[in-house]
Amino acid sequence: MRNEAQFHENRLSIESRTNGKFTDTSSSDEKLEKAVHLRTAALLEMNAALQKKITEHKIIESTLRQSEARLQQIVNGTADGILILNREGIVLFSNAAASILFGYPMEDLLGLDMRLPCKMTDTIEIQMLCKTERGMATRNIEMKLSRTLWEGAFAYLATLRDITERKRSEEELTYSAFHDALTGLPNRAALMTQLEGAIAKTQFDPSYLFAVLFLDLDGFKTTNDRLGHIAGDRLLTEIARRLELCLRPSDQIARLGGDEFVICLNNIHSIQDATQIAERIEIALSAPIPWENQKIFTTASIGIAISNDDYHIPEELLRDADLAMYAAKKRGQGCYEVFNTDIAACIVPKFRLEFELKQALECQEFVLHYQPIIDLRSQKITGFEALLRWRHPSRGLVTPDDFIPLAEETGLIIPIGAWVLSEACAQLKTWHQEIDAEIPLSMSVNVSSLQLKNPGFLFMVEQTLSTTQIQASCLTLEITESVMMEESASMGNLLAQLRAQGIQLSLDDFGTGYSSLITLKQFPISAIKLDRSFTQSLDNDPKSLEIVQAVMHLAQKMNMAVIAEGIETLSQQSHLQTLDCVLGQGFLFSAAIDGQAAGRLIQANGRLPQWVI
């Protein structure tokens, strides 16, 4: 502005001079004056442009400064560590977070060699010894690298993140995925990987031999129930420790869950190597485990499967070791067994049946059929015997002889038996409601020895009677004589309690065991069921007639009723009638029939039409 004013001033002075006493000056002066005038104008213009550029530059400079300050603020404020590294991995710049991460002042980091790996990727994981409040500690750091320019030269921009915690929890997760939380032993998943490795070795080297030991504690459930879960856990951890001590460093052990452990004996020379270890394990487990003021004694059943070419997957080895364990358990407690084809032939069908039985209970495949018990004098139905049937999805109706023994062996008879009792009582209740008989019908239910030994049996019977609302005197429990021979003392007690409630007790299949009526006198039995072998020999064996006569005589003396089983012919019936046998059942009257058919029989006023047979 000032320059412009000057310019006008000059210009006025020239003009005034032009209008004054020099008006007559020559044209060369005018030219000069014009040139000066133009030059000055140009200079002023240039000057203005320059001023403008300077101002712009200053603005840019200030913006740059502000942006750099902002950048610096961001770089230092970010939680991630940032480093600029040269091509060799030497630190050229560090932000505050990187300094906190490493535990050193920023300036100390400059010049530090980050030892970049030769093979560079975008993200690398490094371990750094860092200074922490509690001393030096190794940190896992994830470093993301991107290329950049730093002061005109190639450089790396490295973003650092502390992944120590993440790594630790990842490791913990991996650990728990492959380990059993209680014992700290590898779990099934880890075992499978180990076995896969061992199987792979046999494929490379056919002479390579290894063994799988499947170990199941005997009676662990009882200990757990009796002493509680804490004692059970203590037992399992102690067993795990003892098992580890029995093994060589090359062997592997895993807990499959519950009381099942599996050991993989690598690189053995013979079956004897495996059986020796099984023996060593039995000895190690035999020492009692102290618990509170008691001692827990334990044994294990061990099944051994030895590797061979036929095993391709771990499951096959485990299956056979498990089958061998099952066979060992059958031999008694604390036994071991090496798998062989005989075991498979004998146990596999049993396994299948056991599995199917469990399913049957869940899928409600059991049904009851009822065989009438007849008063031989009036030929009327006095009651029924409930007989269990299994509606097998593919085999059709299966009779109890085919599955009761296994149900007893496996303990499944307890829930099955409870179902039978409640179903039979419910059916009887329905019949009682439908028919108003002078003497109410009775229901006989077969009970196996395992059920009677079960501490909850008495309670279960009481519960069933109270839920179904049938009189105790209408229920008869059929017990085989072998039961009484087995455990007379405690059994006597239980039977007395049942009798005290009014429940009838009858002795099933009498004559097939070794008991005499005299020994049975101590038990509160209300009736004996004469085995059908006697009934059926009445026709042709005079000796049977004598025996039955003696039995009838004694039973009468002891105030016990006699029910003849398996009456198939009229002549058998008349023999029994002459012997004063009042009650009987058999195909002559009716086979066991379903509930509906039995209901129709009752409706027919208890008279049996001959076509039922």
Q: List residues binding ligand C2E (CB under 6 A).
A: 371, 387-388, 399-401, 404, 417, 420, 446-448, 478, 508-509, 532, 565-568, 585-587, 592
Q: Which does 428 bind (CB under 5 to 8 A by kind): ligand C2E, Mg ion, none?
A: none
For residues 164 and 102, what is the distance between their CA atoms, to the nearest angstrom? 13
Residue 162 or 531: which CB sits closer to ligand C2E? Answer: 531
Residue 81 or 417: which CB sits closer to ligand C2E? Answer: 417
Q: Which does 150 bind (CB under 5 to 8 A by kind): ligand C2E, Mg ion, none?
A: none
Residue 140 or 569: which CB sits closer to ligand C2E? Answer: 569
Task: Give the start-end residues of each E strand in 420-541.
Answer: 442-446, 475-480, 504-510, 527-530
Q: How far are the Cα atoms of 402, 409, 483 from residue 405, in angstroms, in the given order? A: 7, 6, 14
Q: Minimal distance in Å, beta carbon 480 to ligand C2E?
A: 7
Burial of 130 (0-12, 13-18, 19+ CB in 10 A): middle
Q: Minimal distance in Å, beta carbon 569 to ligand C2E?
A: 9
128: its two tokens = 């750094």
CB atoms within 10 A of CB 154: 10
For residues 611 and 600, what is the distance between their CA atoms, to the nearest angstrom? 13
Q: Minimal distance in Å, beta carbon 404 to ligand C2E?
A: 5
Q: Which does 587 bind (CB under 5 to 8 A by kind): Mg ion, ligand C2E, none?
A: ligand C2E
Q: Which residues pair with 381 in a beta bridge?
A: 374
The contact set with Mg ion (CB under 5 A) reads: 446, 478, 508-509, 565
Q: Which does 186 bind (CB under 5 to 8 A by kind): ligand C2E, Mg ion, none?
A: none
Q: Which does 353 bind (CB under 5 to 8 A by kind): Mg ion, ligand C2E, none?
A: none
Q: Which does 303 bind (CB under 5 to 8 A by kind): Mg ion, ligand C2E, none?
A: none
Q: Minimal distance in Å, beta carbon 225 to ligand C2E?
A: 23
Residue 216 or 478: which CB sits closer to Mg ion? Answer: 478
Q: Which residues pair with 146 in a beta bridge?
A: 157
Q: Minimal distance in Å, beta carbon 508 to Mg ion?
A: 4
Cα dihedral 149, 153, 156, 158, rounded to 10, equals -70
Residue 238 or 508: which CB sits closer to ligand C2E? Answer: 508
218 CB contacts (<8 Å, ≥6 apart)? 298, 299, 300, 301, 329, 333, 334
Burial of 157 (0-12, 13-18, 19+ CB in 10 A): middle
For residues 575 and 153, what is the distance between their CA atoms, to the nearest angstrom? 120
Residue 186 or 586: which CB sits closer to ligand C2E? Answer: 586
Entry field: residues in the chain: 613
Q: Which does 268 bind (CB under 5 to 8 A by kind): Mg ion, ligand C2E, none?
A: none
Q: Minimal distance in Å, beta carbon 578 to ligand C2E?
A: 19
List, as one string, the DSSP characters of 237-305: HHHHHHHHHHS-TT-EEEEEETTEEEEEE-S-SSHHHHHHHHHHHHHHHHS-EEETTEEE---EEEEEE
For residues 544 and 535, what is the distance between their CA atoms, to the nearest angstrom? 8
Residue 282 or 565: which CB sits closer to Mg ion? Answer: 565
Q: What share of the chain is helix, strand, coil (3-state, %, to 5)?
A: 50, 25, 25
547, 530 in Cβ contact below 8 A?
Answer: no
Residue 216 or 508: which CB sits closer to Mg ion? Answer: 508
178, 190 in Cβ contact below 8 A?
Answer: yes
Q: Are strands 300-306 and 336-338 parallel, antiparallel or unpaired?
A: parallel
Q: Which does 400 bind (CB under 5 to 8 A by kind): ligand C2E, Mg ion, none?
A: ligand C2E
User: Cα 522 from chain centroid?
Assistant: 48
Residue 95 or 535: which CB sits closer to ligand C2E? Answer: 535
Residue 303 or 566: which CB sits closer to Mg ion? Answer: 566
Q: Minimal distance in Å, beta carbon 567 to ligand C2E?
A: 6
Q: Which does 273 bind (CB under 5 to 8 A by kind): Mg ion, ligand C2E, none?
A: none
Which residue in this structure is represented by tokens 């009650």? 583
Q: Minimal distance in Å, beta carbon 371 to ligand C2E?
A: 6
Q: Which does 371 bind (CB under 5 to 8 A by kind): ligand C2E, Mg ion, none?
A: ligand C2E
Q: Minimal distance in Å, beta carbon 603 to Mg ion?
A: 25
Q: Which does 356 bind (CB under 5 to 8 A by kind): Mg ion, ligand C2E, none?
A: none
For residues 289 and 259, what is the distance between their CA atoms, to the nearest angstrom? 16
User: Cα 489 from chain centroid?
Assistant: 41
Residue 497 or 533: which CB sits closer to Mg ion? Answer: 533
Cα–Cα nearest to 418, from 393, 440, 450, 442: 450
Q: Are strands 300-306 and 211-217 parallel, antiparallel or unpaired?
A: antiparallel
Cα–Cα nearest to 284, from 303, 305, 272, 299: 299
Q: Minimal distance in Å, beta carbon 378 to ligand C2E?
A: 19
For residues 604 and 598, what is the distance between their CA atoms, to the nearest angstrom? 10
Q: Minimal distance in Å, beta carbon 565 to ligand C2E?
A: 6
Q: Minimal distance in Å, beta carbon 343 to ligand C2E?
A: 28
Residue 84 or 588: which CB sits closer to ligand C2E? Answer: 588
